[in-house]
């Protein structure tokens, strides 16, 4: 029984009260979805339970597990959000509200295209849905993780959908959801999302690589087993108690390396990888010393992510050595806690509650998400929003310093203008010059990790329109671009409204609709007021 399997999966310390809460949510979800089937033909409740089980595996708190069970009830059944709030309280209803996908696209997007308009492509409508989904998420990171769990199970069952839909959903997963899991540090989920999506986005490459991996699996596993035994023996003789395991090769990561480095399958797959888990940080360095003593390090392959963690708080020592057979052996060394962080990322905060450090890391992990939500309302165009997700959230990063020594995290390729807007919108608007490492530089100078940046400002004034000129490469981040556009919208509002009125009058005359009032037009096009409608037409946000 589905409920029994879910209750058995809950941690042993789960209270009877919480178990009853989960049972009640299951019964409500089962009743609500009773007449519904998945594309596979199985009962819809199976999907709800699968999402909840993924969340349990991540160590999610009970409210998130309950929300996982109920996440489709408001969207797909007769149950209202108010009923969820009445039966389960504000916390769970807010989570369900955040995850609920919109069942209908807006009649008109701010690009001026209706959902029924043939000019509104499927891609545009999908991006608009995605933008609306992220708008609904709010600032609660649990909503994001529930959404990822929902996407993961949908990817596991993607084979039951039409081919065109498979490819669209898989591509969206590769571009948005797998990088989002990576940004949250949930590598376990990232790898699976990537490999599942890879199968549908690049089917031929997937078949070739999957077939080659299957052919060599037995030999590879035997070779890795012997390597792990040897490493554990050498570490033990140096009084380093360690767990040594082979690292799995994920299909999409093999494909990416082949494409990036222009090398054949053998060049990637023949590189073996092992992971060494030790008790504490000092033993990480001891283990590294043992490895480098017995095998020659490959130049340029050592990375110390203990001293300088990645932006998703990943911590490990990485090295590569020439093993006895003359082939490269990649080695990761970390503690068990670091491993939990690497596998579960932000969800490790739920799995291990104790310790101030974890609380601080949790807050640091979601800073970027909170920043994303700060400007999400400013980005009306869905294509801009998805582009911004890729640029500001998933691109490589540059870490630079303020004059006070604070670290600022920016997309790679950012300029002093991006830095200024990151510090404060007002500083961005009044930015007139910059110093990098004490030297005056032009505002289109690209920042690199380690730069100390100082912004020179005027007492008043605003941004230059040149900053929005893509060919000049003055601004990289969507945050800065949005703030600049917003400034010009407000500065030019009267002019835009006047210009929009002229354009609307001309269009109504052309259509023979001179008698139609502006109020009616604004309501028909989903604008809150006539002024908003005219301003959108005047700025070109709404094309007539």
Catalytic residues: 75-76
> pLDDT category, 128, cuts 50, 70, 90?
low
In a domain, 369, yes or no: no
Confidence check: pLDDT of 515 > 90 = no
| Continuous H helices in 160-202 | 163-172, 178-183, 187-201
Position 197 pLDDT exceeds 80: yes
CATH of the domain at 217: 3.30.460.10
* CB neighbour class for 229 (10 Å; exposed up to 12, middle 13-18, buried from 19): exposed
Determine the pLDDT at residue 87: 93
Kindly state the greatest CA–CA separation across the chain.
Answer: 91
CATH number at residue 411: 3.10.20.30
325: Cβ contacts below 8 Å, ≥ 6 apart: none
Same domain, 341 and 232: yes
d(CA 513, CA 284): 76
Residue 389 lies in a domain: no
Stronger pLDDT, 314 or 377, i.e. the higher one: 314
Residue tagged 């979805």 (tokens): 33
Q: What pairing do the DSSP bridges indicate for beta strands 272-278 and 328-335?
A: parallel
What pLDDT shows up at residue 353? 43
Residue 393 has pLDDT above 80, yes or no: no
pLDDT at 51: 95
Give the residue-averaged pLDDT of 89-110: 64
Residue 223 and residue 192 in one domain? no
Q: Are residues 335 and 433 in the same domain?
A: no
Is residue 463 domain-shared with residue 339, that is, in the same domain? no
pLDDT at 118 over 50: no
- Verify that 57 and 175 share a domain, yes or no: yes
Q: How open is the CA angle 485-489-494, to the nearest 5 degrees?
A: 165
Q: What is the pLDDT of residues 475-509, one digit of tens each?
A: 998 889 888 888 887 777 778 888 888 888 888 88
pLDDT of residue 185: 75
Assess contact for 154 and 192: CB atoms under 8 A.
no
Give CA–CA dist 11/22, Å, rounded. Answer: 13
Judged against a pLDDT cut of 60, whether residue 306 lies above it is answered with yes
Are 94 and 227 found together in one domain? no
- Asked whether the predicted pLDDT for residue 129 surpasses 50, the reply is no
pLDDT band at 420 (very low <50, low <70, confident <90, very high): very high
Residue 134 lies in a domain: yes
Kindly report, residue by residue over 337-357, the tens digit of the pLDDT: 888 877 776 666 565 443 344
Q: Specify the pLDDT at position 375.
A: 46
Residue 66 lies in a domain: yes
Same domain, 326 and 236: yes
Q: Is 121 exposed, middle or buried (0-12, 13-18, 19+ CB in 10 A)?
A: exposed
Question: 321 — phi, psi (to 5°)?
Answer: -130, 160
Residue in 370, 427, 380 with CA at minimum distance from that of residue 402: 427
pLDDT, one tens digit per residue, over 45-64 is: 999 999 999 999 988 889 99
pLDDT for res 105: 33
Confidence class of residue 84 from pLDDT cuts 50, 70 and 90? very high
> Whole-angstrom Cα distance, residue 63 to residue 378?
31
Instruction: Count the domains in the chain.
Output: 4
Residues 295, 356: one domain?
yes
The answer to whether residue 94 sits within a structural domain is: yes
Q: What is the mean pLDDT of residues 318-339?
A: 90
The structure tokens listed for 542 are: 């709404």
**Separation between Cα atoms, residue 292 and residue 272, nearest integer Å:** 16
* Residue that is last in its domain, among 360, 379, 406: 360
Residue at 20 is within a domain: yes
To the nearest whole number, what is the mean pLDDT of the chain?
A: 81
Q: What is the pLDDT of residue 383?
A: 54
Q: Are residues 346 and 408 in the same domain?
A: no
Among residues 14, 8, 143, the alpha carbon closest in space to that of 67 is found at: 143
Q: How far apart are CA 289 and CA 292, in angstroms?
A: 5
Task: Compute how many other C-beta atoms are within 10 angstroms of the C-beta atom of residue 66.
Answer: 28
Residue 441 has pLDDT above 70, yes or no: yes
Residue 257 lies in a domain: yes
Q: Are 448 and 509 in the same domain?
A: no
Indicate whether 415 and 476 sit together in one domain: yes
Say if residue 385's pLDDT is above 80: no
Please indicate, yes or no, if residue 382 is contained in any of the structural domains. Answer: no
Q: Which has more pLDDT, 409 or 359?
A: 409
Which own/partner pairs from 525-533 qualify as long-range (CB within 8 Å, at least 24 positions apart)? 525/107, 525/108, 526/106, 526/107, 526/108, 531/497, 533/500, 533/504
DSSP state of 250: P
Least confident segment among 22-31, 106-115, 154-163, 314-323: 106-115
**Distance, CA of 154 to chain centre:** 17
Which stretches does DSSP call E strand in 177-323? 243-246, 272-278, 296-297, 303-304, 317-322
418 and 315 within one domain: no
Nearest to 410 by CA among 327, 318, 475, 497: 475
For position 388, what pLDDT does the model report? Answer: 56
**Residue 76 main-chain phi, psi, to 5 deg:** -110, 0
Note the pLDDT of residue 528: 83
Provide CB contacts within 8 A for 51, sequence distance 6+. Answer: 68, 69, 71, 146, 149, 150, 153
CATH number at residue 107: 1.10.3210.10
Q: 187 lies in which domain range?
A: 2-203
pLDDT (mean) for 119-139: 49
* DSSP label of 157: T
């Amino acid at each position: 029984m589905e409920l029994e399997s879910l209750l058995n999966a809950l941690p042993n310390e789960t209270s009877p009260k919480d178990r009853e809460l989960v049972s009640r949510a299951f019964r409500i979800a089962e009743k609500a979805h009773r007449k519904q089937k998945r594309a596979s033909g199985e009962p819809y409740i199976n999907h709800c339970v699968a999402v909840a089980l993924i969340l349990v595996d991540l160590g999610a708190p009970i409210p998130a597990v309950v929300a996982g069970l109920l996440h489709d009830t408001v969207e797909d059944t007769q149950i209202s959000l108010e009923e969820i709030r009445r039966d389960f309280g504000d916390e769970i209803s807010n989570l369900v509200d955040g995850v609920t996908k919109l069942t209908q696209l807006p009649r008109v997007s701010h690009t001026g295209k209706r959902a029924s308009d043939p000019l509104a492509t499927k891609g545009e409508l999908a991006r608009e849905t995605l933008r609306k989904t992220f708008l609904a998420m709010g600032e609660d990171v649990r909503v994001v993780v529930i959404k990822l769990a929902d996407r993961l199970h949908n990817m596991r069952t993607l084979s039951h959908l039409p081919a065109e839909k498979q490819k669209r959903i898989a591509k969206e997963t590769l571009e948005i959801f797998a990088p989002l899991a990576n940004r949250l540090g949930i590598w376990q989920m990232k790898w699976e999302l990537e490999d599942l999506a890879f199968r549908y986005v690049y089917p031929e490459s997937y078949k070739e690589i999957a077939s080659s991996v299957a052919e060599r699996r037995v030999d590879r596993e035997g070779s890795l087993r012997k390597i792990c035994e040897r490493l554990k023996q050498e570490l033990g003789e140096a009084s380093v108690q360690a767990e040594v395991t082979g690292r799995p090769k994920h299909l999409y990561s093999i494909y990416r390396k082949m494409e990036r480095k222009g090398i054949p399958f053998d060049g990637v797959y023949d590189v073996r990888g092992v992971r060494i888990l030790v008790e504490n940080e000092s033993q990480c360095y001891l283990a590294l010393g043992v490895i480098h003593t017995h095998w020659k390090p490959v130049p340029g392959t050592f990375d110390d992510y203990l001293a300088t963690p990645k932006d998703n708080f990943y911590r490990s020592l990485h090295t590569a050595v020439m093993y006895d057979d003359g082939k490269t052996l990649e080695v990761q060394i970390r503690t068990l806690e670091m491993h939990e962080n690497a596998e579960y990322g932000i969800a490790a905060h739920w799995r291990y509650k104790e310790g101030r450090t974890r609380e601080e890391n949790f807050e640091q992990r979601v800073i970027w998400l909170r920043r994303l939500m700060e400007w999400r309302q400013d980005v009306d165009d869905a294509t801009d929003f998805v582009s911004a997700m890729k640029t500001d959230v998933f691109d490589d990063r540059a870490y630079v310093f303020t004059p006070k020594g604070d670290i600022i995290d920016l997309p790679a390729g950012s300029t002093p203008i991006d830095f200024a807007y990151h510090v404060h919108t007002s500083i961005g608007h009044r930015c007139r010059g910059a110093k990098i490492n004490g030297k005056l530089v032009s505002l289109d100078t690209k920042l690199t990790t380690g730069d100390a940046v100082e912004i020179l400002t005027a007492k008043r004034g605003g941004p230059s329109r040149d900053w929005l000129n893509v060919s000049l490469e003055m601004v990289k981040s969507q945050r800065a671009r949005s703030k600049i556009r917003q400034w010009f919208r407000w500065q030019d509002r009267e002019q835009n409204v006047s210009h929009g009125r002229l354009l609307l009058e001309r269009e109504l005359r052309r259509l023979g609709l001179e008698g139609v009032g502006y109020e009616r037009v604004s309501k028909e096009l989903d604008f809150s007021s006539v002024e908003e409608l005219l301003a959108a037409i005047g700025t070109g946000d709404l094309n007539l």
